[in-house]
Structure 1
Amino acid sequence: MKWRTKVEIGQGADPIDYRDEVLVLGSCFADHLGDKLSYYQFRHLANPFGVLFHPIPLGHLIERAVEGRRFREDDLFEREGLWRCLEVHSRAAGSSKDATLKGMNETLNTFQKSLAQASHIVLTLGTAFAFRNLDTDLLVANCHKLPQQQFHRELTPVAELVRSLGHTIAVIRKNNPECQILLTVSPVRHVRDGLVENQRSKAHLLAAVHQVAEGVNIHYFPAYELLMDELRDYRFYKRDLIHPTEQAVDFVWEKFIEAWVDPGVIPVMKRVAGVRKQLAHRNARAAGSSRVAPGEPLKQKVEALSAEFPFIHFEL
């Protein structure tokens, strides 16, 4: 008996292997993907400026990085003892203005290099609702809990999303013409907008990404459909009934592997996971006592991986 509908996913034309560099940007679902890439020690960068839900502020930040436009003092403002910027998430905020500005520009340099070198760039879009700052007339990445009267909330039309995404991809292509671009819509619902409004928002994003994904080396990965259609049950959501459980994230990751990870590197991933599990077991045994030295077999496994892939590193 058939118990669930299956989302069919095509095989990626240029799957990821350990020689590649992956850049993951966008909503909190991008962080989930970044965590998986980190666990298996793929070369990657995920959300260097924190979570960005709307594609237009995300595109503005990408354009700033590609053009090398450094942040300036007048891009920052102070609130609740922290220096912040409307173009980025509060993750980048700091208590010192100079240190915050320096840190943001160092991160911008790293971001610029990743945009130029990445073999695969994943853009995960969270919402089509945006907040326009009334002083600058620009859509912001984060309101940082500023007074509501400083912003106007609006739903971005599909045509504007298509134009913005097309421009963002053109900016990326000018700097990195050969990279594969993966577009996806986050399955995390924005219930603060209201359930009906959330569906309108996701519909705008889905319509836009499918128009844009018709371009060369631009692909769609159905993370949204995997949770909404294939995992169609609240047992795959956390207690808030909004965010996916670890089991659900693992399921989507497995589908991502099937579509977008080179089968030839699966044995390497299993070796990395094996070392992770052994280290976790060792650390659990060492809890509350002095650290246990790694056994010779474990040390040999780590050294063998590092010899083949110098960027793979474990704390022994």
Structure 2
Amino acid sequence: MQFTTKIPVQKSNFPIDYDSKILLLGSCFAENMGGKFQYFKFQATTNPFGIIFNVVSLEKLIRRTVENITFTENDIFFHNELWHCYEVHSELSNPNKEKFLSNLNSILESTHKQISSLTHCIITLGTSWIYRNIKTNEIVANCHKVPQKEFTKELLSINQTEESLQNIVSLIHAVNPNCKFIFTVSPVRHIKDGFAENTLSKSHLIAAIHSVFNQNFSTSLELTTNQNQKNHNLSPITHHPSPITYFPAYEIMMDELRDYRFYAEDMLHPNQTAIDYIWMGFFENYISESVFGLMNDICSIQKGLQHRPFNPNTESHQKFLKNLKRKMTTIEKKLPFISFEN
């Protein structure tokens, strides 16, 4: 007997392994997924410019990064004793103007270099609701507690969202045509916008993502057909899988985990059990089976590092530490980019 509706997740044609270079962008759920990649020591970077909820702001940052458009004094402002930038999250704000600009441009430079070698870009969209600065008419990524009277609130249309997603893919493919994209919608409910409004927002995101996916799937199918016609079907058929896939994190939360016991205390965010469950759906379908054993070894080490003994000076604990250190050294020699000190 089955007590939940299982969401089918398609196996990735481009599975992630320890050679993969991953960039996660978007909402706070991107942070949850990024935490898992960090725990298992993959080569992954999460939200270098902080949490970004809407796709237009993501597109603007990616365009700035790809085209290497540096931040200047015109892009920042002073409010509540801190320097802010409407394009990035408040966690980057700084009381020192020069340090703030230097840090923004340092992140810009490192992300610019990273994009050229990416294998996977995972984008998690949070909401279709955006805030537009009345003075500049620009959509902002974060209001930085500036009075609401300085903004108008709008709902991005499906077409607007779709256009930004296509632009993101095009921008990154212009410098890195081999990058694969995984789109997903955050399972976090933005109830501050309203219950019906949250549903409308998520539906716009899902419709736009699937439209982009279908367009890229059609292009991949056309490439396969043209190649087969060119070869007069004399050579084996070569399929061109779409570089874009959709991982149904939102659907898993809404259907498989349809119970408030899977929510945090605010009843809006998934709790750790839900995050772990959704990660398992991703892990089973997007991670290469060839690294499952290594991930298990790393998990064992991580648990060992978190262990807090009652009697640390005992011989048995010292033996435990020595064995743990040996395991760490073995993996660090095999994969030099891995360090268990961070």
Distance apart, 1:23 and its partner CA: 0.4
Name the SS for the 1:132 alignment partner. Answer: strand
In structure 2, how many angstroms separate the alpha carbons of the residues matched to 1:50 and 1:225?
Answer: 25
Return the match for 2:283 from 248, 254, 257. Answer: 257
Secondary structure at the residue paired with 1:213? helix
Counterpart in 1 of 2:169? 169
Moved over 3 A (4+): 282-286
Q: Which amino acid aligns with 2:289?
A: P
| % identical aligned pairs | 41
Determine the C-alpha separation between the residues in 2 that align with 1:167 and 1:49.
Answer: 19
Q: Secondary structure of 1:142's match?
A: coil
Aligned to 1:117: 117
CA 1:55–1:293 in structure 2 vs 1: closer, same or farther (change >3 Å)? farther
Q: CA deviation at 1:315?
A: 2.5
* One-letter code aligned to 2:257: L
Deviation at 1:193, TM superposition (A): 0.1
Give the equivalent residue in structure 2 for 1:136: 136
2:296 corresponds, among 270, 273, 282, to 270
| Cα drift, residue 293 of structure 1 | 9.7
Question: Where do residues 181-196 of structure 1 align in structure 2 (5 Å cutoff)?
Answer: 181-196=181-196
Alpha-carbon offset, residue 296 of structure 1: 2.1
Q: Calculate the TM-score normalised by the size of structure 1.
A: 0.96
Distance 1:154 1:314 in 2: 45
Q: Secondary structure at the match of 2:2?
A: coil
Q: CA deviation at 1:314?
A: 1.4
- Map Cα deviations across residues 195-224 of structure 1 (whole Å, 9 max, x no partner): 100000000000000001121301100000
Q: Note the C-alpha offset of 1:56.
A: 0.5
Please report how far the alpha carbon of residue 285 of structure 1 lies from its aligned counterpart in structure 2 after TM superposition: 6.1
Distance 1:258 1:284, change over 3 A: farther
- Between stretches 113-122 and 12-21, larger displacement belongs to 113-122
**Aligned position for 2:305:** 279
* Higher Cα Rg, which structure: 2
Deviation at 1:282, TM superposition (A): 4.4
Q: TM (normalized to structure 2)?
A: 0.89
Hey, what's the Cα distance between the residues in 2 that align with 1:134 and 1:62? 23
Aligned twin of 1:236: 262
Following superposition, the deviation at residue 121 of structure 1 comes to 0.2
Kindly report the root-mean-square deviation, in angstroms, between the aligned alpha carbons of the 2 structures. 1.7
DSSP 3-state at the match of 1:154: strand
Q: Which residue of 2 aligns with 1:8?
A: 8
Q: How many residues align?
A: 313
Instruction: Measure, in 1, the Cα distance between the counterparts of 2:253 and 2:322.
Output: 43
CA distance in 2, matches of 1:293, 1:136: 63
Q: Is the 8 A contact 1:183 1:213 kept in 2?
A: no
Distance 1:279 1:37 in 2: 17
Q: 1:284 to 1:155 in 2, by over 3 A?
A: farther
CA distance in 1, matches of 2:280, 2:121: 19
Give the gaps of 5 or more residues in structure 1.
Answer: 287-291
Find the aligned partners of 2:113 and 2:63 in 1 and give their Cα distance. 13
- Give the match's secondary structure for 2:307: helix
Letter in 1 for 2:340: F
Give the deviation of 1:284 after TM superposition: 7.6
